[in-house]
Amino acid sequence: MKNRRLLFLGLSLLCLAGVVFCGWNFYQEMKPRVQAEQAYNQIRERAFRESAAVMDGDEDITAVNSYTRKRPDFETLLQWNPDIAGWIWLPESDIDYPVVQGIDNDYYLNHTADGERNIIGSIFMESHNQKEFQDDVTILYGHHIRGGRMFSSLSGYKTQSYYEEHPVMYLYTPDKDYRVDLFAGEILDGQIGSFPLMFESAETRERWLKKLLVSSTFKSSVAIERNERILALCTCSYEYNNARYAVYGVLRDMEDEQNEK
């Protein structure tokens, strides 16, 4: 009987140790996510605090979560962090983040936009791109984080139905605001895949676009004009080792569209 009690006690302690171990691992996994989300919520408050007092009926305002959607206050944001290049937003998703650009592609891979070290990182621009989005192709990177954070929502574009529900993103910059009409998505090998920043010729551009449209995970009716600039958004994917998934859209100046109307 005594041996049974000792055995039962030993098994109980072993189970308790397992629970504590699993709980600690879960805490360690969730802690950076919670810290990062707190940081980005504070950044959103800083970026949009002035818009909360705007009168109802303003056509530029769209309700999003608990704050008001309007053009970010870049004057405040740039004083706070000069690395900020823009703000990317996909309606009805978790993609709603500042875009930063570092001197390399390493720093913001594991630092949030407020400069704090965190494995969640930032949405950041390719360091060789022009900060003003003037290259033929501008590349944005972001982690794929479980729970919908950062660029994980991009994986939805592997299905036609998700694209049809989310065909447009918005990119705000200090100088211009863009509607991003999405036209393709593809799975890439991160070890050998690369993105062009500038095309050598119109023919090179056309060949690249044709290949991209053939391999796209969804079909789009977006017509891409000869001189239109392209935004590429890239994150991790899990079809094979080092897989990446990229979604492509055309940058269209919202002010020009409004003038045409």
What is the mean predicted confidence (pLDDT) over 207-219? Answer: 95
Identity at 108, one-letter amino acid code: Y
- pTM for the model stands at 0.81
At 195, is the pLDDT very low, low, confident or very high (cuts 50, 70, 90)?
Answer: confident
Rounded to the nearest 10°, the torsion over CA 49, 55, 59, 61 is: 20
What is the mean predicted confidence (pLDDT) over 170-196? Answer: 90
pLDDT at 52 over 60: no
* CA distances (Å), origin 203, targets 108, 148, 213, 226, 231: 35, 38, 15, 10, 19
DSSP symbols for 91-146: TTSS-EEEEE--SSSSGGGSB-TTS-B-TT--EEE-TTS-TTS-SSEEEEE--EET
Residue 229 half-sphere exposure toward CB, CA atoms < 13 A:
19
Q: CB within 8 A of 52, min separation 6: which ones?
A: 67, 68
Catalogue all structural domains in the chain, each as residue range(s) with its CATH number: 83-260 (2.40.260.10)
So what's the pLDDT on residue 39?
85
